[in-house]
């Protein structure tokens, strides 16, 4: 990971101000709103890096997107740390300084550097934003959405941080498509994330499997444990 100072300086050069509270990234489709212009510039660079990973997995976003970095957890939708609103094409994500306030004692994410975790949350929501622009009924595609979002989130983590998640919910069985369902995704997201990585990291899966989801060649709509 690049030093914070170099990330900020590079992002400042490639981003142009839209207003006192917003920054248009080098990619003109992306606007970041944050209370700190330097941090908004850093987010622009994180989005650029994330986009390269997403593009490699058939997830190329073509619509304008606004990213809001919020410091108050009460401003977030429901009890989320990050969310994507497809109706207004907007991602909301908590600032790294606020994230520690949201962790419960047993949360494995609390063991990570907050900036590393923030980056992974951003990747998760960017994956949602890229997938949800494709034809799919949102309620029916919950498992597919979360599979792609968690695969991209865990892929973005350094090995040691990813292992924290995997150790929190060890997978002791062969992951089948039936075990990657919306019930687990909603009720036990960390366990779902661990199952996703176990499946996604198999040599025959990876981005090829995500491509099959996007093309409608595979479905995860089978709510069996």
**32-56 per-position pLDDT tens digit:** 999 999 999 999 999 999 999 999 9
Q: Give the predicted TM-score (pTM) of the model.
A: 0.86
Chain segment 8-31, per-residue pLDDT in tens: 333 333 444 444 478 999 999 999
> Model confidence over 177-223: pLDDT tens digits?
999 999 999 999 999 999 999 999 999 999 999 999 988 888 887 64
- Domains with residue ranges and CATH for the chain: 4-131 (3.40.30.160), 150-214 (no CATH)
Looking at the chain, list the stretches that DSSP marks H as alpha helix, in order from N- to C-terminal side: 4-14, 37-56, 114-131, 142-156, 159-168, 182-187, 189-200, 206-214
On whether the CB atoms of residues 131 and 215 are closer than 8 A, the answer is: no
């Amino acid at each position: 990971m690049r030093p914070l100072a170099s990330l900020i300086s590079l992002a400042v050069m490639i981003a142009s101000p839209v207003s006192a509270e917003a920054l248009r990234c080098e990619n003109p489709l992306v606007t970041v709103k944050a209370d700190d212009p330097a941090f908004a510039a850093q987010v622009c660079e994180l989005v650029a890096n994330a986009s390269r990973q997403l593009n490699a997995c058939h997830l190329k976003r073509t619509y304008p997107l606004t990213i809001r970095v919020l410091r108050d957890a009460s401003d977030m939708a429901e009890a989320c740390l990050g969310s994507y609103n497809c109706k207004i094409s907007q991602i909301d994500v908590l600032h790294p300084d606020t994230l520690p306030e949201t962790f419960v004692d047993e949360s494995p994410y609390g063991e990570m550097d907050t900036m590393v975790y923030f980056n992974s949350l951003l990747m998760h929501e960017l994956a949602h934003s890229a997938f949800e622009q494709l034809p799919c009924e949102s309620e029916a595609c919950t498992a597919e959405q979360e599979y792609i979002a968690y695969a991209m989130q865990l892929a973005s983590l350094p090995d040691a941080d990813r292992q924290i998640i995997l150790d929190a919910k060890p997978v002791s069985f062969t992951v089948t498509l039936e075990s990657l369902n919306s019930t687990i995704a909603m009720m036990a997201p960390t366990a779902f994330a661990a199952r996703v990585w176990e499946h996604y990291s198999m040599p025959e899966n990876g981005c090829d499997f995500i491509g099959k989801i996007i093309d409608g060649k595979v479905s995860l709509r089978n709510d069996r444990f």
